[in-house]
Structure 1
Amino acid sequence: MISYKPFYETLLRKNLTEYWLIFKQGISPNTLHRMKHQKPITTTTLNTLCEILDCEVSDILKYVPYDEE
């Protein structure tokens, strides 16, 4: 399973909000909704988030085996 927990930790560490991503950076609210509910996002979106947040992919998501949930 892909977890977006690192994404929220990155936002907190950088003192940024979802509001900022939506209204200042143009990230779709649907994208953030999908991430909150552990749904897939595109690699294009992942790339955009990395550019906006100036971070690595590992700062956005991580793989968690199902038996470790």
Structure 2
Amino acid sequence: MAVTYKKLFHLLIDRGIQTSELTEKAGFSPNILTRLRRDQYVSLDSIEKICFALDCKVDDILEFIPVEKENKNG
């Protein structure tokens, strides 16, 4: 199963929050933001920081993609 963080970026747009604001507010490096944009692995600690900074739940910022769906889109 793969993970996508598209929901996070939609949430930021909906709330009018710049990605630079998120990195500052959540206290993580720009490298983490790059990993999020590329749907790469991000530690649970970073996910927790994002949720705390945005006052949201994990399922508000990420979504699991079943392997068969991932293979069809890839």
Q: In the alignment, which residue of structure 1 is the partner of 2:64? A: 63
Q: Shift of the alpha carbon at 1:46?
A: 0.5
Q: Equivalents in 2 of 1:27, 1:18: separation in Å?
A: 11
Q: What TM-score, normalized to structure 2?
A: 0.83
Q: Which runs of at least 4 in structure 1 moved beyond 6 Å after TM superposition?
A: none
Q: Which runs of 5+ in 1 are unaligned?
A: none
Select the structure that is richer in helix.
2
CA separation in 2, counterparts of 1:11 and 1:67?
A: 29
Larger Rg computed on CA atoms: 2
Q: Name stretches of at least 5 consecutive residues in structure 2 with no aligned partner.
A: none
Aligned residues: 68
- Counterpart residue number, 2:28: 27
CA RMSD, 1 decimal: 1.2
TM-score (norm 1): 0.88
